[in-house]
Amino acid sequence: MSSKHSSRRRELVESIAQGAVLLAQEGQILAINDAARELLAIPTRARTRSASDVLTHPELADAVDDVRDTGEPTTLEIDHAEALLRVNVSMLRDEVLVLIVDRTEESRVEQLRRDFVVNASHELKTPVTGIQTLAEALSVVVAQEEHERVAALVAQLGDEAARLAALVHDLLDLRRLEERGPQERARLDLAELVRRVVAAQVDRAEALGVELSVQAPVELLFAGVTGDLEVIVRNLVRNAITYNRVGGTVDITLRQLQDGSGEPQVELVVTDTGMGIAPSDLPRIFERFYRVDPARSRDTGGTGLGLSIVRHAVEYVGGSIEVTSHLGEGTSFTVLLPEALAPEGPTDASELRR
């Protein structure tokens, strides 16, 4: 092969975005680009003269031999250097072209989607089955005129319906956050939003014997999407109430501060005095359907999606969320949101207690 021809082949391979390796019939490496070196975990100064220097995975080496012998292209997936690679091997005239794509992240997302469908189906099945069973029992009770049992069955039916509705609403919130396009942010009073969302949880907190406390400026103007911010506050407060103890408290604090570069940001802290979270569970609490205490979650109507929704909503607005917890003492979630707008009114702290 002339040096001019060889140079053109190298330029062609190097111009390909995917990992690419070009081999001669005899097995010599004619060209290999940087993407292929990275995907195949080839050190920078490693020898790359022959196929055996590069195609160290047995299945890949066998595939190249088969294509060279038959002339028929093939595609395979291999696990190599902690990555899942999709490899296409084909003849390019009298040479062998190997194209490599990293499917690790794609495969992970596919697995998450499969797990999500399985988990969602399982979670939906429980309240649906409960509603069906209660409806059948109610029809029997009515037919037999056992009026004293009707009220209890109707109450249970309502609980299961509420549980199903909560799960459906959370699924819709999660889908909206994951699949929607960009949305324009509007100027809103975040302090008023926090007080309003917390006030809607007062009845539930009182029923569970939990006291709510809000500390926030009189006004805190912010550029954001109202629905996203409501989802963050509502889910964090609802979780803090659910996993608290009788006589416990939930403290919600909102304030404006500056980051290390002097840019304004908002800090929202939700702290409870509940059961706490074990260190081994902390890395997984933002996963869909993950429950630290599955039995209590089901007893209290938890869907296992609340914190996953919060994480998506926080990340969508470019913020961050951190959690600290001690078993038997409680848990604290801290959300930092960027792009706060300077308040135009008084900033004295106000407090709402229920």
In this predicted structure, the answer to whether residue 233 has a pLDDT above a threshold of 80 is: yes
Are 192 and 143 found together in one domain?
Answer: no
Are 200 and 286 found together in one domain?
Answer: yes
Label residues 268-283 b or e (16+ Cβ within 10 Å = b). bbbbbbbbbbeeeeee
Are 97 and 56 found together in one domain?
Answer: yes
Are 168 and 54 found together in one domain?
Answer: no
Are 177 and 233 found together in one domain?
Answer: no
Beta carbons within 10 angstroms of residue 109's beta carbon = 10
Are 346 and 204 found together in one domain?
Answer: yes
Question: Which of 123, 148, 181 lies at the terminal end of a domain, its last residue?
Answer: 181
Are 199 and 304 found together in one domain?
Answer: yes
**CATH number (domain holding residue 301):** 3.30.565.10
End-to-end CA distance of the chain: 84
Give pLDDT, residue 291: 65
Question: Which of 102, 125, 160 lies at the terminal end of a domain, its last residue?
Answer: 102
Are 211 and 144 found together in one domain?
Answer: no
Give pLDDT, residue 302: 57
pLDDT digits (tens, 9 = 90+) for 32-91: 898 998 999 888 778 888 888 888 899 999 999 999 999 999 999 999 888 899 999 999
Are 155 and 78 found together in one domain?
Answer: no
Average pLDDT rounded to a whole number, residues 189-212: 94
Are 83 and 147 found together in one domain?
Answer: no
Give pLDDT, residue 3: 57
Are 94 and 176 found together in one domain?
Answer: no
Give pLDDT, residue 236: 95
In this predicted structure, the answer to whether residue 332 has a pLDDT above a threshold of 60 is: yes
**CATH number (domain holding residue 20):** 3.30.450.20
pLDDT digits (tens, 9 = 90+) for 148-162: 677 777 777 777 776
Give pLDDT, residue 147: 67
Q: What is the dihedral of CA 174, 180, 182, 183, to 10 degrees?
A: -70
Average pLDDT rounded to a whole number, residues 136-155: 71
Q: Give the sheet arrangement for strand 320-326, strand by strand.
A: 320-326, 330-338, 264-272, 249-258, 211-217, 349-353
Average pLDDT rounded to a whole number, residues 270-289: 88
Contacts of 64 (CB under 8 A, 6+ apart): 23, 51, 55, 89, 96, 98
CA angle 346, 217, 343 (to 5 degrees): 50
Are 200 and 348 found together in one domain?
Answer: yes
**CATH number (domain holding residue 115):** 1.10.287.130
Q: Return d(Cα 334, Cα 195) in angstroms, integer.
A: 17
Question: Which of 76, 102, 128 lies at the terminal end of a domain, its last residue?
Answer: 102
Give pLDDT, residue 313: 85
Query: How does the average pLDDT of the chain come out, rounded?
Result: 81
Number of folded domains that form the chain:
3
Least confident of 69-78, 114-123, 220-229: 114-123
Give pLDDT, residue 63: 92
Average pLDDT rounded to a whole number, residues 254-283: 88
The residue range of the domain holding 137 is 104-181
Query: Under a CB-based contact definition with an 8 Å cutoff, are residues 34 and 46 in contact?
Result: no
pLDDT digits (tens, 9 = 90+) for 298-319: 455 555 677 888 888 888 878 8
In this predicted structure, the answer to whether residue 348 has a pLDDT above a threshold of 80 is: no
